[in-house]
């Protein structure tokens, strides 16, 4: 039986995504919660768990910076799968009839539900917690008039009742997760569609450096689906770049591999994080 690390505690969106991906592992899996994203990724890098599931990007709030930064720093991990997970935020409380004066949740759901909260609870105090499940736990053990933005499962785990459902401002709200594993990871089949991810540092002091990198993809008709820049942490104004590259089913990957090698030649360093399938739920 394999072990799967995830951002805990139980009842988070990360747990739901990890449960979904764990079903695809042969021989079953045991889920292991960790208190923060860095810890769960370190556990996978150290071999404490066989694989881990971490959030990478939300469609409303953008990249999860700690995940991106840690991927750039760790040499042992590669991406096995990507999962696009629809996010459903519920408002739950011990007494749904009580007047709500405080609302607890992780900063991401608080931001994702900003419009709803302003319209329905303009005077409520918004309190950030380390996870949606922690918010549910705090509300369950706290004072009357507190509510949590959390998953239905988290509310049920802590005995909360529904105040309102589907309170996210955008009904297409989704989060991208990566399933990570120590290298080597199982290869993407030759006929499968998916993505590749690379991260590199280029010479930002030279005009046109980024344009030159992008041309390596464009001239070979390699579709770049996402670009993210992050501080290199070596000096002010120095950045690294993540590039998501599309892999089309049944097409030659020679242009993709050639473009990555060309970018490598134009970079101070480049890390290849793998070729992987993309699942949607």
CATH number of the domain where residue 211 is located? 3.30.70.260
What tokens appear for 27 in the block? 């021989």
Given this model, what pLDDT does residue 28 score?
83
E strand or H helix that includes residue 181: strand 174-182
Given this model, what pLDDT does residue 162 score?
95
Burial class (CB in 10 A: 0-12, 13-18, 19+), 220: middle
In terms of domains, do 60 and 128 share one? no
CA dist 162 → 94, 105, 138, 148, 165 (Å): 9, 15, 16, 10, 7
Identify the domain containing residue 119 by its residue range. Answer: 90-164
In terms of domains, do 234 and 110 share one? no
CA–CA separation, 11 and 153 (whole Å)? 5
What does the pLDDT look like over 178-189, one tens digit per residue?
A: 999 999 998 999
In terms of domains, do 272 and 203 share one? yes
Domain boundary (182, 208, 240) is at: 182
Give the closest residue to 130 by CA, choosing from 52, 38, 209.
38
Given this model, what pLDDT does residue 204 score?
78
* Residues of the chain under the 70 pLDDT cut: none
In terms of domains, do 51 and 20 share one? yes
Number of domains, the chain: 3
What does the pLDDT look like over 121-132, one tens digit per residue?
A: 999 999 999 889
208 domain-assigned: yes
Given this model, what pLDDT does residue 129 score?
92
61 domain-assigned: yes
189 domain-assigned: no
CA–CA separation, 149 and 104 (whole Å)? 6
160 domain-assigned: yes
133 domain-assigned: yes
Given this model, what pLDDT does residue 264 score?
97
Given this model, what pLDDT does residue 207 score?
85
Backbone angles phi, psi at 4, to 5 degrees: -125, 115
187 domain-assigned: no
Neighbours of 145 (CB within 10 A): 15
281 domain-assigned: no
Domain boundary (118, 148, 182) is at: 182
Given this model, what pLDDT does residue 238 score?
84
């Amino acid at each position: 039986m394999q072990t799967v690390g995830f951002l805990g505690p139980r009842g988070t969106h990360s747990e739901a995504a990890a449960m979904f991906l764990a079903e695809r592992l042969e021989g079953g899996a045991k889920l292991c919660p960790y208190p923060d994203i860095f810890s769960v990724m370190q556990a996978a890098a150290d071999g404490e768990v066989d694989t881990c599931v971490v959030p990478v990007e939300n469609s409303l709030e953008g990249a999860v910076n700690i995940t991106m930064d840690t991927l750039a720093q760790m040499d042992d991990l590669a991406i096995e799968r990507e999962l696009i997970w629809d996010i459903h935020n519920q408002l739950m409380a011990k007494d749904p009839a009580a007047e709500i004066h405080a609302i607890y949740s992780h900063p991401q759901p608080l931001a994702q539900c900003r419009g709803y909260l302003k319209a329905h609870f303009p005077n409520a105090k918004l309190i950030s917690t380390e996870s949606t499940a922690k918010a549910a736990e705090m509300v369950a053990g706290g004072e009357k008039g507190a509510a949590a933005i959390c998953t239905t499962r988290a509310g049920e785990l802590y005995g909360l009742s529904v105040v309102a459902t589907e309170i996210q401002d955008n009904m297409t709200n989704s989060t991208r997760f990566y399933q990570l594993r120590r290298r080597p990871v199982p290869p993407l089949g030759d006929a499968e569609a998916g993505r590749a991810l690379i991260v590199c540092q280029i010479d930002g002091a030279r005009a046109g450096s980024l344009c030159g990198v992008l041309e390596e993809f464009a001239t070979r008709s390699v579709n770049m689906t996402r670009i993210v820049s992050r501080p290199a942490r070596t000096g002010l104004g120095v950045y690294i770049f993540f590039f998501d590259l599309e892999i089309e089913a049944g097409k030659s990957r020679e242009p993709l591999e050639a473009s990555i090698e060309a970018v490598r030649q134009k970079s101070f360093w480049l890390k290849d994080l793998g070729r992987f399938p993309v699942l949607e739920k």
